[in-house]
């Protein structure tokens, strides 16, 4: 079984798929699903494979089965754009509807999609307070309350034996946890990027769930922007 970490007094379990399991709340948290990113590009003449929503959803369902979670909190940018829900193919649409009906489903609004996902069922909020934690799409720098968010798509690059290995990661400081992007086509921003550094607001670690282990890497502070 996966390894947990303690954050603001809560026990949370980062999953290899990029989701975060919160056993005490029976909840699964995912950020930046970016459903229908493929078709958003296709509209502009770049024909990315049309399977991203189905793939992302399949991962989500696997994670639900693995954790037995009954609540799902999506931390924003669940669709790549506001037109995404209308383009969602029939099968993933039906599956998603079924999920939002049978589970306690919360869409946090994002900068890409706002409240567009509402048509598929579930509740929509700009931010939510669950237990001791605040859920929002983009971290608010300096906000004192412990917070779970997405938006930045953190990833970490590890250099070892001449290889550079890049993985999605959970970026964690004393009061902030930024989840990796969950969507099949979502790229990432290196966790030592100044933008993420500013959001984290202090020393941080990058966690990578690899199989049944939880690896941790210090976030280097060397890559600061030039004056």
Partner 1 sequence: MRQHYIETVTGLPIPIADWFAARGWAPRRHQLEMVAAARAGRHALLVAPTGAGKTLAGFLSTLADLADDPRDGLHTIYVSPLKALATDVQRNLLTPVAEIGLDIRVETRTGDTPSDRKKRQRERPPQILLTTPESLALLISYPDAATMLAGVQTVIVDEIHAFATTKRGDQLALALSRLQAIAPAMRRVGLSATIADPEAYQGWLAPDADAAAVALVTGDPGADPVVEILVIEDRIPWAGHNGRWAARAVMRRLEAAKLAIVFVNTRAVAELVFRDLWAENDQALPIGIHHGSLSVEARRKVEAAMSNGKLRAIVATASLDLGIDWGDVDLVIQMGAPKGSSRLLQRTGRANHRMDEASHAIIVPGNRFEYLESLAAQDAVREHELDQDQFRPGGIDVLAQHIVGCAAAEPFDADELCAEVRSAAPYAGLTRARFDATISFVATGGYSLRAYDRYQRLKQNKDGRWRLSHPRLALQHRLNSGTIVEAVTMNVVYGRGGGRGGGRRFGQVEEWFGGQLRVGDSFMFAGQTLEVTGFDGPDIFVRLGRGDPRVPTYVGGRMPLSTNLAARVRGLFNAPERWAEMPADVHEWLAIQQLRSRLPGLDDLLVETFERDGRHFMVAYGFAGRNAHQTLGMLLTQRMEAAGLQPLGFVGSDYVVAVWSLRPVTDPRPLFSPDVFEEELADWMAASPFLRRAFREVAIIGGLIDRALPGQFKTGKQMSVSSDLIYDVLRRHEPDHLLLSAAWSDARSKLTDIARLGALLDLAQANMVHVTLDRVSPLAVPVLLEVGRERVAGAADSALLIEADALAAEAMRLD
Residue 129 Cβ, how far from partner 1 at the closest point, in Å?
Answer: 28
Q: Which of 27, 60, 49, 30 is nearest to 185 (CA)?
A: 49
Q: Which of 142, 144, 202, 222 binds partner 1 (CB under 8 A)?
A: 222
Determine how many CB atoms are found less than 10 A away from the CB of residue 224.
Answer: 10
Nearest Cα residue to 212 out of 16, 65, 12, 24: 16
Phi-psi region of 122 (alpha: psi -120 to 50; beta: other; left: phi over 0): left
Greatest alpha-carbon span in the chain: 52
Contact flag: residue 92 with partner 1 (CB under 8 A)? no
Out of 21, 37, 93, 137, the residue judged to bind partner 1 by CB under 8 A? 37
- 203 touches partner 1 by CB under 8 A: no
**Residue 87 CB, nearest approach to partner 1 (Å):** 9
Our CB check for partner 1 shows the closer of 1 and 225 to be 225
Q: Which residue bears the tokens 């954050």?
A: 7
Q: Is 212 in the site for partner 1 (CB under 8 A)?
A: no
| Residue 189 near partner 1 by CB under 8 A | yes
Judged by CB under 8 A, the chain residues 39 through 78 that form the site for partner 1 are 39, 41-43, 45-52, 55
Q: Which long-range contacts (CB under 8 A, 24 or more apart) does 136-143 make?
A: 136/75, 136/76, 136/108, 137/31, 137/75, 137/76, 137/77, 137/108, 137/109, 137/110, 137/111, 138/76, 138/111, 138/199, 139/176, 139/178, 139/199, 139/200, 141/198, 141/199, 141/201, 142/201, 143/175
Contact stretch for partner 1 (CB under 8 A) within 62-70, 140-148, 161-169, 171-179: 161-169
The CB-of-135 to partner 1 minimum distance in angstroms stands at 22
Instruction: Tell me: does residue 129 bind partner 1 (CB under 8 A).
Output: no
User: Which residues on adjacent β-strands are paired with residue 127?
Assistant: 136
Q: Among candidates 97, 98, 119, 118, which has minimal Cα distance to 107?
A: 118
Q: Decide whether 94 or 195 has the Cβ nearer to partner 1.
A: 195
User: Which one-letter DSSP state was computed for residue 142?
Assistant: T
Query: Which CB, 131 or 187, lies closer to partner 1?
Result: 187
- 81 touches partner 1 (CB under 8 A): no
Which lies closer to partner 1 via its Cβ, residue 69 or residue 87?
87
Could you say whether residue 160 binds partner 1 (CB under 8 A)? Answer: yes
List residues binding partner 1 (CB under 8 A): 37, 39, 41-43, 45-52, 55, 89, 153, 157-165, 167, 184-190, 193, 195, 208, 210-211, 213, 215-218, 220, 222-227
């Amino acid at each position: 079984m996966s390894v947990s970490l303690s954050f603001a007094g809560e026990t949370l379990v980062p999953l290899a798929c990029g989701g975060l399991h919160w056993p005490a709340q029976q909840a699964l948290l995912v950020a930046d699903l970016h459903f229908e990113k493929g078709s958003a590009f296709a509209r502009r003449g770049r024909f990315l494979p049309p399977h991203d929503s189905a793939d992302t959803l399949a991962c989500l369902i696997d994670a639900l089965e693995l954790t037995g979670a009954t609540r799902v909190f999506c931390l924003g940018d669940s669709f790549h754009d506001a037109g995404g829900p209308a383009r969602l193919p029939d099968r993933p649409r039906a599956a998603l509807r079924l999920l939002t009906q049978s589970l306690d489903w919360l869409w946090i609004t994002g900068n890409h999609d706002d409240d567009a996902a509402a048509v598929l069922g579930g509740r929509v909020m700009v931010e939510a307070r669950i237990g001791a934690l605040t859920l929002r799409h983009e971290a608010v720098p300096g906000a004192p309350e412990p917070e779970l968010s997405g938006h930045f798509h953190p990833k970490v690059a590890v250099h070892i034996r001449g290889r550079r290995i890049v993985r999605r990661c959970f970026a964690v400081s004393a009061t902030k946890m930024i989840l990796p992007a969950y969507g099949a086509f979502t790229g990432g921003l290196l966790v030592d990027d100044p933008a993420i550094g500013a959001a984290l607001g202090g020393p941080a670690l990058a966690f990578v769930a690899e199989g049944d282990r939880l690896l941790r890497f210090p976030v280097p502070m060397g890559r600061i922007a030039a004056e």
